[in-house]
Amino acid sequence: MMGTQIRPAGPCDEERIRRFLVGLSLHTQTLRFFSGIPSPRAGLIRTLLAIDGQRDAIVAERDGEIIGHAMSYRGGATDVEIAIVVTDDWQGRGLGRRLIGVLLGRAAGRGATTVGMDVLGDNRRVLRIIRRMWPDATMKVSSGSVEVTAMIQSAVVFAEQGSGGPPLTL
């Protein structure tokens, strides 16, 4: 993970996030967006990079290229809903867990205590991560996806303990 930076996303990332999305395998695109996105539209790019009172977005970057993206937004049945995706080459290395820790640390800093997410039922790897990070999470299967509700604090502590470094903050 040396040389990998996690930072807030911004409008200057538009072209890099487009390359990142196009570089994801169809399988990874489907697990994150529930469909393939061979040609990401400008509206999607802007949404993925938006940071305002309702939304937050961070990216993991290495050698000037985005290798991971995480976003949250307020609303729904929980304080924040989150979505994370890591490029195929970086999956299974703990980057997703680091992104979750940073994103939820930022949300907790703004007062959020609960988190929700929709995970495609076939996304076994992410469901295993969720079970480890949130053993008390509520999971409800609905139309092929799993609606997850959990407390933020346990995930932030889990991510920080597993990082081997200082607490994950920006």
Cβ atoms of 126 and 146 within 8 Å: the answer is no
pLDDT at 1: 63
Does the pLDDT value for residue 8 go beyond 50? Answer: yes
pLDDT tens for each residue of 49-73: 999 989 999 999 999 999 999 999 9
pLDDT tens for each residue of 96-116: 999 999 999 999 999 999 999
DSSP label at residue 88:
G
Cβ atoms of 98 and 6 within 8 Å: the answer is yes
The rounded percent of the chain whose pLDDT value lies above 90 is 82
156 compared with 94, residue with greater pLDDT: 94
pLDDT tens for each residue of 154-166: 656 555 555 444 3
pLDDT at 153: 81
d(CA 120, CA 126): 9
